[in-house]
Structure 1
Amino acid sequence: MNAWAMVASLWAIGAVAMSLGWWWQRRHDNAGIVDAIWAGGVGFGAVFYAALGPGDVAVRVVLALCGGAWGLRLALHLWQRVRGEPEDGRYRHLRSHWHGHQGKFFLFFQFQAALIVLFALPFLAVAFNGRLAPMWLAAGVAIWLLSVAGESLADRQLARFRADPAHRGRTCREGLWRYSRHPNYFFEWTHWFAYVCFAVGSPLFGWAWAGPVVMYVFLRWISGIPYTEAQALRSRGEDYRDYQRSTPMLFPWFPRSPSRTETSS
């Protein structure tokens, strides 16, 4: 199977999965399921391309393990939030803005199916890699381990903070969240550089850069930070504005002191 046929097949599978997700959100009034399906779909893409790709077997095994494990962990984490909490504020706002129009929600879900294909392009590049130098394999594995561990830690710290009723209406400033307003997004972004390393030598190497480049654009300007921070300002108001003034947005660094914050504002 050539590359374009593999892409088309993944798109078709993603479209079916997102159609089922749309049906589920219609019954449960919770569009957050789209995030879990997206993560699981991209992770499935890694395994799918690894199984069908013509590249070196060892490289494809690493791809299936790393991409599949990343997608499974993130999908399960998001599913637990969808199943155990009310609809995320971002989607409640969207539901209100669209007046619950299910046709628009269906198109939104299908757009996410296309994004599965887009974000799986680095996996396709790796699946076509016929040979990978050990140094690039080691670098990719190291980046993957550090990034997934960091994202998992950030997710656990936030979940623990949110689980305490005393923290309702307050912003998490514990652990990694003291140094970045979005440490989970930061490690999610760095994770994609692992596949750039795995794709060195592939005839489709350029496609591997779609991971870190497109992820950064989406997180920084489209669907990540802008929506998350808008919802945080709606729900936490001045407490979150103070957090914005004192804490770096994405790249971790030491928080600014109150005196410095007041001077700069």
Structure 2
Amino acid sequence: MDDISVWCLALVCLAACCLIMAAAWLWAHKIKNASVVDMFWSYNFPVIAILLFLLAPGWETRRILICGMVIIAGMRLGTHLGRRILSHLDEEEGRYQQLRKEWAPNAERTFFFFFQAQAVSNVILAVPFFVILMNPAVGVNAFEWIGFFLWFISVSFEAMADRQLAEFKKDPANKGKVCDKGLWYYSRHPNYFFEWLMWVSYFIFALGSPYGWLGVISPTIILYLLLKVTGIPATEEQSLRSKGDAFRAYQKSTSVFVPWFKKS
């Protein structure tokens, strides 16, 4: 692997993501809604994929395959989040309202650095893509096929979970209730689980390239963030504030993360 080329690619991608997040922060500051950061975080991965497709020296077919995967997944998630956020743009999501309170009176300045930290996380999480796209070897190997099929399964089920939740929320009769339909019957966060599984698939795909073991950083970071930081803890705290006892009962009967058998 050409270390200089990798670092140059990383800097180009970082600059692009930071500029996008700076523009996103300006918009968020204007409308007083930091929720938009989630949408742009997702869209940054397709941006990275396009830059790497154009600039990285790897085998063209492999570049098409992995960049196509990243673009499809990032655009799907970003658009799903965008629809939700834009549908109530005048109302900041509960998680960010809470951060705004905690960071007062310097919330806007802190949000700027928060947005930039998201840009940095985009590039760090893209490590498997850098590894894969620097590989000049011709031919798709077993690790790459396994990674592709696991990616297809994880993205399909994440989309299913998102669709089930969106349809549940559309029904006015479900206002204040907890979604326990479909995949949500077995797990409180099936969308997060399959999002993590998608990053596992990128790691497996990367194992077919030199230095592919470096790709483990992505699913490891994602798992930590989902379980301990911005994923499940923040989401469940907000659900407890908004749904109270109904969500407490749901917590007792379901798996927190992995879709599994329903608890008795």
TM bin, normalised by shorter chain, reads over 0.9
1:44-63 pair list within 5 angstroms? 44-63=47-66
SS in 2 for 1:253: coil
Aligned to 1:150: 157
Aligned to 1:261: none
- Structure 2 unaligned segments of length 5 or more: list them: none
Aligned partners of 1:198, 1:255: CA distance in 2, in Å?
32
What letter matches 1:20 in structure 2?
A
CA offsets 1:182-240 (integer angstroms, 9 cap, x no match): 00001001111222232224233122112211111111111101111111111111111
> What is the deviation of 1:33?
0.7
> What is the deviation of 1:133?
4.2
Are the equivalent residues in 2 in contact too, given 1:59–1:198 (CA < 8 A)? no
Aligned partners of 2:161, 2:193: CA distance in 1, in Å?
10
Aligned residues: 257
Aligned to 2:103: 98
What letter matches 1:108 in structure 2?
F
Aligned to 1:188: 195
Identity of aligned residues (%): 39
Aligned partners of 2:184, 2:242: CA distance in 1, in Å?
18
SS in 2 for 1:66: helix
Is 1:207 aligned to residue 214 of structure 2? yes
Aligned partners of 2:174, 2:141: CA distance in 1, in Å?
47
Aligned to 2:177: 170
SS in 2 for 1:129: coil
2:204 aligned residue (190, 197, 202): 197
Aligned partners of 2:190, 2:46: CA distance in 1, in Å?
21
Aligned to 2:94: 89
> What is the deviation of 1:64?
1.0
CA offsets 1:35-66 (integer angstroms, 9 cap, x no match): 11111002221222232222211111111100
Aligned partners of 2:84, 2:214: CA distance in 1, in Å?
32
CA RMSD of aligned residues (A): 1.4
What letter matches 2:18 in structure 1?
A
SS in 2 for 1:214: helix
1:22-37 pair list within 5 angstroms? 22-37=25-40
Are the equivalent residues in 2 in contact too, given 1:130–1:201 (CA < 8 A)? no
What letter matches 1:111 in structure 2?
A
SS in 1 for 2:38: helix
Aligned partners of 1:22, 1:174: CA distance in 2, in Å?
35
Aligned to 1:249: 256
2:230 aligned residue (223, 234, 248): 223
1:111 aligned residue (102, 111, 117): 117
TM-score normalised by length of structure 2: 0.93
Aligned to 1:3: 6
Aligned partners of 1:211, 1:155: CA distance in 2, in Å?
22
Aligned partners of 1:188, 1:48: CA distance in 2, in Å?
23
- Structure 1 unaligned segments of length 5 or more: list them: 258-265
1:16 aligned residue (19, 24, 32): 19
What letter matches 1:51 in structure 2?
L
> What is the deviation of 1:114?
0.8
TM-score normalised by length of structure 1: 0.93
> What is the deviation of 1:256?
1.3
SS in 1 for 2:57: coil
